[in-house]
Structure 1
């Protein structure tokens, strides 16, 4: 796939512009006619899975039907995303996607089994999530400056786990290597959960993990939080500094997660789903649950989400190029 930006096709634009109209009886009376599947393109237990299950539980209540979470990890989320891209546009198959599936993968992979713009109808942004630099407590460093000094004194000795090649977790580490001018070893896994498991076991040294999957271990003391990757400190961890303020000015990497339907999904159905997701994200208990886990609810419209995806794709294309990362 060419590493150039794709514009949203006319059908999607028409679908998005129609998203604020009064919903016809089609979406109201016939949907859902069977269980809705939210496909999570990463392993169970990671941030994408955590958010998918939270949304799925509430969506089932609002739709009055069953919502199934189906984990299909592989290729940095590409395996699961391609499955949804090829699914029927009837609202019964949705994707809990990420910054990776829709803003990064097209610049990483020589061949991609889906087009992140043409093959999907954006439903809503769901959450903004800073990554967090966590280390096993056995490591001798406790700050970013100490970690950089250790890495420079021990080139190639320090390794960092990730949820997979080309994921935002990987690229957060790659950006750190580039800006700090250190030589570290990347250890990719198929999702955050197995990567965190090995970090907890001391099999790897550190990780630039999505905050929700590491938050319980930070609270328990099983992992040490060195810094967050976002431009600002995260409200739930006010004592943890940003990487930028800890020695690498300008460093800023925030992950995000959203919901997509296949491109052929009718505009009224996309609008219905957007309304339901926004109502779920406005619930105080959902907002607090996300915050406790390290995520911030981020409801928006399909139009806003589509524009946001385009801007993020432009940003991360430069990061991927600078990191010189390309996957088969």
Structure 2
């Protein structure tokens, strides 16, 4: 065989298999997973679970990087503008993907255009918590007091534009009451003031709320899901209380910047699917009150688009702003 022909065939073969080779070679260095909230909350726990299992599957480190600021905006925008090479990923949720487009008039990223979903792992409801010595034992009592005393009760959030902020603000708006919003930089500092009696209410993700409820440190007044939580079957849903026709469950998943090579996305989705199917992962998510999802590719994209369209429009209609 002439050497020129052999070289041509070798080049042709390498061109054919290069995507597979590239996928097998990825990742060849540590992968950064941006968590746009501080340690200790739902974003962080899901991010660390994904990072640990993806790292073990790939044999390469997946490192969580907490990048906070402006609710979830700073870290999410950083990921949107990162090189689309598969080495910077971000934890996406209802708050930074579906709520922010309605909260910010000039959002620096486009949730649908700038991100490609790898997969959605789990969804959680929220639990409305009251400080331990709050003289009300139901959401109805809270709303009755708030109507008689506008602006006197306060509610915490994990930051302007966070899921805790939007859900609570939507509830107060629909119930026609006025409460003072106290934003914090994450869930943990919010709990410090809730437990210290310096703020009255906090609508937090159910898994991070559960330990405080179980310990008797706070009162559970309502949950935001379509059904009651099996962790607290005696706590009614918001809709059940008659306060408002409102429900929200926050999904969490892994996203890559748009433009990430298809073979890298394929590798990430394959490993993500393996993680989501692990019995101990599903058990861990269920024990904390989550609903395992394992939505990949087009299925995940459809869920994301549905919630971006619905929640961004609702947030605008309610006049809720991040500031």
TM-score, normalised to structure 1's length?
Answer: 0.89
Match of 1:175 in 2: 170
Q: Are 2:257 and 1:257 aligned?
A: no
CA distance in 2, matches of 1:201, 1:271: 48
Q: How many pairs align?
A: 307
Q: Name 2:71's counterpart in structure 1.
A: 76
Aligned residues of 1:58 and 1:280 also touching (Cα < 8 A) = yes
In the other structure, the counterpart of 2:221 is 226
Superimposed CA distance per residue, residues 247-276 of structure 1 (whole angstroms, 9 cap, x where no aligned partner): 225221221212101112111211221121
Aligned partner (choices 239, 243, 250) of residue 244 of structure 1: 239
1-structure distance, mates of 2:48, 2:322: 30
Give CA deviations for 1:70-109 in whole Å, capped at 9, x if unaligned: 0001122111111111212221111012112211112211
Q: Secondary structure at the residue paired with 2:71?
A: helix
Computed over aligned residues only, the root mean square deviation of the Cα atoms, in angstroms, reads: 1.8
SS at match of 1:76: coil
TM-superposed CA distance for 1:307, in Å, is 1.2
Instruction: Tell me the equivalent position of 1:19.
Output: none
Asked if 1:55 is matched to 2:50, the reply is yes
**1:5 paired residue number:** none
> 1:325 corresponds to which residue?
320
Cα distance, 1:62 vs structure 2: 0.7
Whole-Å Cα distance in 2 between the matches of residues 23 and 223 of structure 1? 57
Give the counterpart of 1:202 among 197, 203, 206.
197
Q: How many Å apart are 1:176 and its aligned residue?
A: 1.3
Q: Distance in 1 between matches of 2:280 and 2:233?
A: 21
Distance 1:26 1:99 in 2: 35
Q: Alpha-carbon deviation of 1:244? A: 0.8
2:230 pairs with 1:235: yes
Q: In structure 2, how many angstroms separate the alpha carbons of the residues matched to 1:303 and 1:127? A: 17
Question: Which consecutive unaligned segments of at least 5 residues does structure 1 have?
Answer: 1-21
Instruction: After TM superposition, list the pairs within 5 Å mapping 1:83-122 onto structure 2.
Output: 83-122=78-117
Higher Cα Rg, which structure: 2
Alignment partner, residue 4 of structure 1: none
Q: Tell me which residue corresponds to 1:283.
A: 278
1:23–1:188: structure 2 CA closer, same or farther, 3 Å change rule? farther
Which deviates the most, 115-124 or 38-47?
A: 115-124
1:125 is displaced (CA, Å) by 1.1
What is the match of residue 32 of structure 1? Answer: 27
Gaps of 5+ in 2: 1-16
Local SS of the residue matching 1:150: helix
Q: What corresponds to 1:292 in structure 2?
A: 287
Which sits farther off after the overlay, 135-144 or 163-172? 163-172
Aligned to 1:15: none
**TM-score (norm. length: structure 2):** 0.90
SS at match of 1:127: strand
Whole-angstrom distance in 2 between the partners of 1:265 and 1:108: 27
Q: Which whole-Å CA distance do the structure 2 matches of 1:274 and 1:200 have between them?
A: 40
Match of 1:13 in 2: none
C-alpha separation in 2, matches of 1:198 and 1:265: 42
Deviation at 1:45, TM superposition (A): 0.7
Distance in structure 1 (CA, Å) of the matches to 2:174 and 2:300: 30
